[in-house]
Structure 1
Amino acid sequence: MKIDLQAVEDAAMTLYIRALKMLPPDVKAGLDRLTRTETAATAQSVLATMVTNIQVAEATDNLLCQDTGIPIYNLLIGSNVQVDGHALKQAIRRGCERATREHPLRSSVVHPLTRKNNHTSCGIEVPVIHIDFSPMPDLLDIEMIPKGSGSENNSFLKMAIPAEGIDAIKTFVIDCVLAAGGKTCPPTIVGVGLGGTSDLSVALAKRAATRELGSRCSDPEGAKLEEALSAAVNQLGVGPQGLGGDSTAFAVQIELASTHITMNPIAVNMQCHSARRARATFTPAGVTYGY
């Protein structure tokens, strides 16, 4: 399957705009679930305001949040896909720039030292582009995630002592949620990366935080820990926007990897209640959009 780079550029532009305006159905369902179970009056009011904000944004073709975030594109490429990898990345970058200039969107991307903003949502190594490979031969899948700073600023890494075991993981995750408080615009998705190396653990935490709500860790022990931590986090009383209540997090979601016998890396990355993402899937039949 040969890929049309102009179609990729157009998709990269469309995905950025779509992600900023349309919340995925699983996140809406998560808000509905929390609204039904929340017992605190203030928290109920905050959740109702969040739901109204989503409805107004979609009804008026407006942004869900003013923070357009750091643009992240995750690619899955099948074995029969014919494409120049470098040209593919450049097409995504052009699409990201077009979304920002033509729509227009506020660019949140600046140089880390000079703080100069080129007003393109692009810069050195940005957009962030991850490429992996799919067992489906005739497939190019592009997922776009605009990661806001409110959630991304609450990222944590601990190189734990293996002898501390699972208790160290639980304690660290709980401490991170408490430290973040209302700064992540909860209810959040708490992404936890376990194992690997320090950099892999952080990458796994991001993957977990941006996973679809309702999905489970593929590892049975990881799935058990997800369930235990999800219950524990919602007993902390942080609540929506940090104003108290039962709804601190939609879920704790875990991704894990094998690690060294003398290491136990633990990373936490959070996603805010506006857990935005969009997806374009290229097949021989054409391009389809979803979440």
Structure 2
Amino acid sequence: MDTTKLITKQAVAKAVYEAIPNVACVLPCDVKRSLAEARKAEGESRGALVLDQLLENAEIAERDCVPICQDTGTCWVCLEAGPDVLVPGDVFAETDDAVARAYSEALLRKSVVRDAFFDRTNTGDNTPAFTDIHFSEKAGCRLHVLLKGGGSDNASRVVMLPPGAGKQGILNEVMDCVRHKAANACPPLVIGVGIGGTFDKVAGMAKSALLRPVGSSAKDERTVELENELLDMVNVTGMGPGALGGKTLALAVHVNTAPCHIAALPLAINMGCSAMRRATFEFNAQTGEFERVDTETGE
């Protein structure tokens, strides 16, 4: 019996269309929980006032169905397909239409220009969406929708280190990026780090790391140790929430690693701001549609 699942462009577009207004206005449960935990740990620092404001802002946004942040970002749609699914070549063919309708109907700010250099006029509908397909050994199909603001992306970095730079070179580069750019990315942050691959792949690895729920553990113990070391180094700077002082500059550091050329050590750092607006969906073969995954339970 053939159990292969067909992912349709209509199912992808429907999930994106329905996700955008909610993602723009409702902070994921894991992010809200982490902000609340950071507030408890902060004590009476100036950063505590920032966290109070962020939590209040999230509550107002969810209650009144208004954007968490005025920068409603670019729309990144990532399809993660397992070996038991079929993905047609036009799977994203209706995604731009879904994005345009969602941004217009929800009255979200449109922030995409026609060409980065030759024509910086606004497209008027926040398209095109930025789309990716990743193939996975895990069965099934997952769809990720991320609204990424300009401030956090602008605070990111890609660098090709020499292999001899090693772990210390990676630590130094991450911390240099944090000291110079974290304040502009609306902390407390979720920091995605990619190590390995190639120049064009490592940035995607760092960005994909932001999709992991805050507080979840990496599968590899060595990665867990590196993430914890980086998080401690970031937070010991004392920059804190809003970079106004305090204990929590970052809620988490998530690291993805991959093979690379013997002569290379690619590194990417992708900042995620305090308004980590994302959603993950799992494909239901029985209904032919994507269903939202809870960011706390993974179900």
TM-score of the two chains, using structure 2 as the length reference: 0.89
Distance 1:165 1:53 in 2: 41
Residues 136-162 of structure 1: per-residue CA shift (max 9 Å, x gap): 65x442210011111000111222222
Range that drifts further, 101-110 or 180-189: 101-110
1:106 aligns with 2:114: no
Q: 1:255 — aligned with what?
A: 256
Distance 2:120 2:98 in 1: 23
Instruction: Write out aligned runs for 1:134-173 (5 A).
Output: 134-135=136-137, 139-173=140-174
Aligned residue type for 2:121: K
Cα shift at 1:53:
0.4
Instruction: Write out aligned runs for 1:41-190 (5 A).
Output: 41-82=45-86, 84-86=88-90, 88-111=91-114, 112-113=116-117, 114-122=119-127, 126-135=128-137, 139-190=140-191
Q: Is the 8 A contact 1:46 1:240 kept in 2?
A: yes
Over 3 Å counting, the alpha-carbon distance change for 1:163 and 1:84 in structure 2 is: closer
Cα shift at 1:189:
0.8
Local SS of the residue matching 1:45: helix
Q: 2:194 — aligned with what?
A: 193
Structure 2 gap segments, 5+ residues each = none
Range that drifts further, 23-32 or 207-216: 207-216
Local SS of the residue matching 1:90: coil
1:202 aligns with 2:215: no
Over 3 Å counting, the alpha-carbon distance change for 1:100 and 1:238 in structure 2 is: same
TM-score of the two chains, using structure 1 as the length reference: 0.92
Aligned residue type for 1:257: A
Residues 234-282 of structure 1: per-residue CA shift (max 9 Å, x gap): 0101111111111100011110111222211221110001111012322
Distance 1:220 1:146 in 2: 30
Distance 1:116 1:263 in 2: 38
Structure 1 gap segments, 5+ residues each = none
Distance 2:167 2:285 in 1: 46
Distance 1:187 1:229 in 2: 14
Distance 2:276 2:62 in 1: 15
Distance 2:157 2:138 in 1: 34
Local SS of the residue matching 1:33: helix
Instruction: Write out aligned runs for 1:18-37 (5 A).
Output: 18-37=22-41
Q: Is the 8 A contact 1:185 1:272 kept in 2?
A: yes
Residues 81-126 of structure 1: per-residue CA shift (max 9 Å, x gap): 455321x21122221111122223211101212211121111xxx3
Cα shift at 1:4:
5.1
1:11 aligns with 2:12: no
Number of aligned positions between the proteins:
286
Q: Is the 8 A contact 1:196 1:257 kept in 2?
A: yes
Distance 2:262 2:6 in 1: 44
Distance 1:268 1:248 in 2: 15
Residues 25-77 of structure 1: per-residue CA shift (max 9 Å, x gap): 11111101111111352111110000000011111111111111110001123
Q: Is the 8 A contact 1:100 1:119 kept in 2?
A: no
Over 3 Å counting, the alpha-carbon distance change for 1:134 and 1:208 in structure 2 is: closer
Distance 1:78 1:164 in 2: 35
Q: 2:246 — aligned with what?
A: 245
1:277 aligns with 2:286: no
Cα shift at 1:131:
0.9
Aligned residue type for 2:110: S
Compute the RMSD of aligned alpha carbons: 1.8
Stretches (4+) displaced over 4 A: 134-137
Q: Is the 8 A contact 2:75 2:146 kept in 1?
A: yes
Aligned residue type for 2:199: S
